[in-house]
Amino acid sequence: QKEVEQNSGPLSVPEGAIASLNCTYSDRGSQSFFWYRQYSGKSPELIMFIYSNGDKEDGRFTAQLNKASQYVSLLIRDSQPSDSATYLCAVRDNQGGKLIFGQGTELSVKP
């Protein structure tokens, strides 16, 4: 059973701080990794993808990938109250192509 693990939180950070969200995965052969944001009552929205070791930056978001440690993270700089949501880590299954999701981490950014 291929698994994706996240701390469910909630993770609370003050406005302007850096939020760090973490994810581990079990399938060493995984190649593509995704972060989705999900507001309460809404569907997931893709915010970042990464498939090479190292960092990938997009605005206030940085995704970090370490395949040797089977670890993916998302950093949100200058956190805003509007960033308060659940963040889902997903890993593409190489055998079928579907995405396997973690249980999500709830982030709360306090003004």
Torsion sign over Cα 40, 97, 32, 50: negative
Question: Residue 49, class by beta-carbon neighbours within 10 Å (0-12 exposed, 13-18 middle, 19+ buried)?
Answer: middle
Question: Residue 9, class by beta-carbon neighbours within 10 Å (0-12 exposed, 13-18 middle, 19+ buried)?
Answer: middle
Rounded to a whole number, what is the distance in angstroms from the first to the last CA of the chain? 40
Among 21, 63, 74, 99, binds other proteins (CB under 8 A): 99
Among 15, 45, 57, 58, binds other proteins (CB under 8 A): 45
Among 7, 11, 22, 49, binds other proteins (CB under 8 A): 49
Q: Does 52 bind other proteins (CB under 8 A)?
A: no
Q: Does 34 bind other proteins (CB under 8 A)?
A: yes
By CB under 8 A, which span of 11-19, 40-48, 56-64, 75-83 interacts with other proteins?
A: 40-48
Which letter does DSSP use for residue 78 in this model? S
Q: Which is nearer to other proteins, 8 or 66 (CB)?
A: 8
Q: How far is the CB of 90 from other proteins (least distance, A)?
A: 7
